[in-house]
Every structure is written in structure tokens, then in C-alpha cells.
Amino acid sequence: MPLLRQNSLRHRLLVGALVIATGLAYVLLAGPARAQSQTVNQKILRIGYQKYGTLTLLKARGTLEKRLAPQGITVKWTEFPAGPQLLEGLNVGAIDFGTVGEAPPIFAQAAGAQLAYIGNEPPAPTAEAIVVPKNSAIKSVADLRGKRVALNKGSNVHYLLVRQLERAGVAYSEIQPVYLPPADARAAFERGAVDAWVIWDPFLAAAEKQLEARVLADGRGADGKNVVSNHQFYLASRPYAQARPDVVTAILDELAQLGQWAEKHPKDAATVLVKETALDANVLDLAVSRFSYGAKPVTPEVLAEQQRIADVFHSLKLIPKPIRVADAAWQAPATQQAQR
């Protein structure tokens, strides 16, 4: 590709990333004022989900709808391309509940979003990774110095990249981050507009199976210990959690039961996801094998991990101010009304 064309393409990608980042900042900063005045619809539960994961399985199986039907509650589902966009929806009152990775709630909380940590899945460190083209000359994370690295800004992989660069002795300022959502990042990766891509499943599995992408590093270190945990978090808007703690608790219970089933029947879970997502069966088999099930309430230990991520992001000036993650923790009331 001629140098002029490369520079033009890079310029378009960086301008596009700036527009996306500016839009995200505007929505999150404008959102809290609107969220504070939102009223909770007692009879409609609006769930935001991504193309893959336990909420997609929960939607397909319909057990939550059956559980809430006696209370006259209707469940509505909205798909989002990634965690930051989902939390935009949560913050402006478009949805009541959703699931994201580790980084999005930190960015959202720093921008003043009214969110509440409801629960999380166990660590899944291999379900996200830094990948490069199969014939790339890049052999280690240290080789990313000066390279163009695509990632979804504010997503769970943002912290993975920061931590792996740190371990390799590369400053974040020494790479060229290109902030793109998954679909655009894959397109840029395929045509060679970026040198590496930091991504999560099932996009990661698709890149490995369909593009023969090579994993440079995932959430584990060379010693086998986790560099990042890669928790999946379940969050609710704080107004909804306060108004309907019974519903929030019911969702978490259904997710825990679903996880028990999926862990025992991974092939069946993959089959359901194939139908729901239209993704290739081989891709989903690989992705499901790396997922971690077992939804439970967020513990102080997990919140402490989140605090470490928040502190790192603030030190890198990725968030504008320090935050106290524990302020967004939610405690279920000791007693709840079974029905309202």
C-alpha cells in the first residue's frame, strides 16, 4: 500500500476514533442529569445484552420471562455491540440491566453514571487476547512499541493491553492506539490498517478460526498466573435496583442456575448460541470452552480488583478523576417482597 494511502487511511481511522470517543464522553457526561430524573417502570424490565454470553443464553431459554410473568413484568431485550455502548444506554435510562467487562463500568462511574454492581462471573483470562496476523513479524508484546493497536476504548480489553504492555516494559504512550468497535476493528485488522488487535470472545475465536490470527498474549502470564481476571459484571441502573431489588435478585438467581446448566452442557450451550448469533459452530465451540460460569454477588475482593484497574486508568489519564469503586456496590435488602 503506498505511503500516502496508508497515511490517509490512518488519518481517517484516527478521526473516526476521535468522533467515537467524543460522542461517548458527551453521552456519559450529559447522561447523569437525565438519569437522576428517570422514573422506573415497575412492569417492564429492559435488559441490554451483547452478541454472546450468559444473557444471550438467558434470553434464548426464556426462564426469566416465566419467572417474572406472575408479577405482570414484561422483559424487553436490546442488543449492543460492546460494553461502553451498553452502559451509555443504562446511563441515559434506555435499559435497566446489562452485562459488561471490567473496564466499561469504571469509565462510566468516572463520568458520573448511576450504576450498581449486582454480580459477576468467575475469571475468564483466556477469553480475551492481543492478536496479530499469522505472518506478522511481531513476536512478543514488546514488539508492539510504535505499532498501531486496535481496541474498543473503555472495554474490558483496554486493561488487558495496559497490563501486558506494562509487563513487557512498554509505556502505553509508546504504542499507537486506534479506537474502533469490534466490527470496524476486524475490518482494519484484515486489510492491514492496524498491526495488532485486542479483542474478546466470540470475536477473538472468530479471528483465530477465520483469519488464522495468532495470539500474542491473553490474560495469563508466562508463569500461568492471571495478568487480568477478565470478570464479566452484571450491572443495573441504581434507580432500578433501588426500586426493584426483588427483580434484580431474581435475575442473578436465574443466571446462576443457567451457569450450572451451561457448565455441564457446553455443547448444548454452543448450539443455542449458534442459533441466537448466527456465528459459526466451530467459533462458538472455541469461545464457549473459554467462558467461565457461576454468577454470584460481587464480593469486596472483586471490588478491590476493580479499584486497582480504576487506579491504573487514572494514573494513565484514561479517566478524568479518581473514583471509589465501592461507591457503586449494591447490597440486596435482607428481606424483600416476593411480589409488588
Task: Please choose, from the candidates 150, 109, 174, 144, the residue with its C-alpha nearest in 3D space to the C-alpha of residue 311.
Answer: 109
Range with lowest mean pLDDT among 15-24, 79-88, 153-162, 190-199: 15-24
Residue 8 has pLDDT above 50, yes or no: no
**pLDDT range class, residue 38, cuts 50, 70, 90:** low
**pLDDT range class, residue 7, cuts 50, 70, 90:** very low
At 154 the pLDDT is 79
Q: For the chain, first and last CA: distance in Å?
A: 64
From 3.60.10.10, 3.20.20.20, 3.40.50.10470, 3.40.190.10, which CATH number describes the 127-218 domain?
3.40.190.10
Task: Please choose, from the candidates 118, 204, 122, the residue with its C-alpha nearest in 3D space to the C-alpha of residue 155.
Answer: 204
Residue 165 has pLDDT above 90, yes or no: yes
* Fold exhibited by the domain 17-124+230-328: D-Maltodextrin-Binding Protein; domain 2 (3.40.190)
Q: pLDDT tens digit string along 261-300?
A: 988 888 888 888 888 888 888 998 899 889 888 999 999 9
Contact 36, 114 (CB under 8 A): yes
d(CA 170, CA 162): 9
Q: pLDDT tens digit string along 207-264?
A: 999 999 999 999 998 888 899 999 999 999 999 999 999 999 999 999 999 999 988 8
d(CA 186, CA 33): 35
User: What does the domain layout of the chain look like in residue ranges?
Assistant: 17-124+230-328, 127-218
Residue 129 cell numbers, joined? 487476547
More confident call, 154 vs 313: 313
Residue 79 cell numbers, joined? 442488543
17-124+230-328 and 127-218 agree in CATH topology: yes
Q: pLDDT tens digit string along 242-254?
A: 999 999 999 999 9
More confident call, 271 vs 188: 188
